[in-house]
Structure 1
Amino acid sequence: MSLKSHPKLELHLHLEGAAPPAFIRGLSQERKVDISGIFDERGHYTYRDFWHFLKVYEAATSVLQSPMDYHRLTLAVLEECAASGVIYAETFLSPDFCGGRDLVAWRDYLAAIEDAAAQAEAELGITLRAIVTPIRHFGPDKAKEAARCAAETAGRFVTGFGIAGDEKVCEPEDFLWAFDCAREAGLGITAHAGEWRGPEHIRATLKALNPTRIGHGVRAIEDLALVDELAERGTVLEVCPGSNIALGLYPDWRSHPIGQLYDRGVKVTVSTDDPPFFHTTMAREWDRLHDAFEWDDGVFATLNRTALEAAFCDADTRQALAKKLETAQ
């Protein structure tokens, strides 16, 4: 069974991390930058563990040096997403990579990305929104600068604020100013937590930053009281099973806790995170979840409804997406 043609909503996608390897190789040749060490003999991204993955990610991103590069990247990524049936995606964008957190430069990068998104929507029927995301291991001061960029450009396209990077660097409360700034600008709030640190990190993130969504959050399963709290609060988890398995967090699909989380009433969604790094697509994620847990169309419809309700988009966009989902049933 393949669920490729089913419409899908994706809430957890890193734009640079979704760059096809061939795209990055081609750009590195244009820029005359040697990053050959980040690819294996088959041309795929290669890394040893999560922390090495972060270095490879940043090396790949280093060849993206202009707004036009990001325009081309956005089109390439959305073409891949649409091929898997994705009709709506939210992507993490970092001012750290797009203009070095300079507001004028950030606006130029953002305009290029938004223009590409509008082109893809017209040609492919996929809608994109942006979540501004400082990099945790770059530190709280740089996160403040990223938050200012987010607040100054908040609107129809920039709709959310989050944080990514190495969970083991800094504590959630270190970023309180940045998140308060983003919240005051009306942005939706999410935060990566509970991937490489345990349930205590999720609790600390909920307490300090009060997000409506948690990126990953799967290690909540190690504390069933926390699982019940997440269900009661209605906190939405942006779960990326293929990513977790590829990085060795869980050995296989049947061992992944998304099934248990769903059964205990936690609002879960499914995303790809950095799909070419983890040899996945949204279609593959759905297919493997069907195989592992025997999920039927009803469960996947629930996942879509959860994602739609949790999406950081305006009412008109949400209504248009709802109609697309209804038409597909």
Structure 2
Amino acid sequence: MRSWLLCISAGVLAGVANAACTNKCGSNKCLGAIAADPAFGESFCSSFLALEPVTTTVTEIETVTTELVNVETALTTITVTTATFTVTGSEASTIFQKRAPTITEVDPALPDPTDAIFSKCSTSDDRISKACSCLLSTATTSTVTVFETATSTATVEAESTIVETVTDNVVATVSVAAPAVTIPPNIIINGNFENYLQTGNILPWTDTTASNGGRLDIVNGVNPCSSENGVVTCAGGQVVIRPYPPTTGSKYVGIRESFVGRPSTTYAVSFVYRCLNFDAATNIQVLYNGAVIGTANQCINSAAFSIARNIRFTTDATGQGEIEIRFRNSGATPYLYFYADAFQAIAV
């Protein structure tokens, strides 16, 4: 048992003065009066001794969230740290170490304990100070736990050192050169229509009959040959197209095909054709990217094939384009039709 309690027991219960107690705690009567109500006594002594807010030990649990900025891909660990530090000063949250946490209001009907203290202590500041110091000597240091959450943002440069566990997911970008493409001299595909025998169509050619009218037949068994200056030239196959242009509306049947040629290169277009039931206005137009670049109108003998030549165009920087052949019935002649084969566009 604490020595000041022995002093109180000796002073209050036995009423016998004890030299040791008197030296340490002052008057036993004074100490007994102050300790009669411990809660009030601690409050009284704290005020009497004018105690300032004391040092409070605070345990802080801090949650730190780190956000990495300017990194491609990073995984970071959320770290929870526990630290103990000392808080001093006059913050509102500071706890008075020696002050009772709750002060009970004194009942007005009862004697004022303060009067009893001053009476027993003979209104002696020295006695009161010794008794209060003795009473408060065993008070427990107050401890408070503060929970604090802090968020920090760390800007990470490429050359910075990060004191954290970071996993970088690196995606390697590999530049692969496009495979070399060999562009043949003749950039028109299926220009003699022989693929029809295997596929049943003339792709990649398409025709305009769905929008313009007229008719387009694929005929097998025709031998398209022409004779110029005693020289006979044949197409090399027996599949030809037979367009029937309409007599109204657009008055033409067109076939078109997209191609990939050499950039900024001039190409010469040629083909063999034959006109039947024609008139003076009958002709075949050649278009590159929608613009007319030449006309074939040698419908002289319906029994012979002619060769269209001297029709040229130059590709743009991409080398890509579209070629279109229009079989025209400008005079609206009934029963007009054509045969055509061996379409070519060769770089010159």
Identify whether the pair has TM-score above 0.5, normalized to the shorter chain.
Answer: no
Normalized per residue, the structure richer in strand is 2
- Whichever structure has more helix as a proportion of its residues is 1
Short-chain TM bin: under 0.3
Is the radius of gyration larger for structure 1 or structure 2? 2
Task: State the structure with bigger RCO (CA 8 A, min sep 6), 1 or 2.
Answer: 1
TM-score by length of 1: 0.23
* Superposition TM-score, scaled by structure 2 size: 0.22
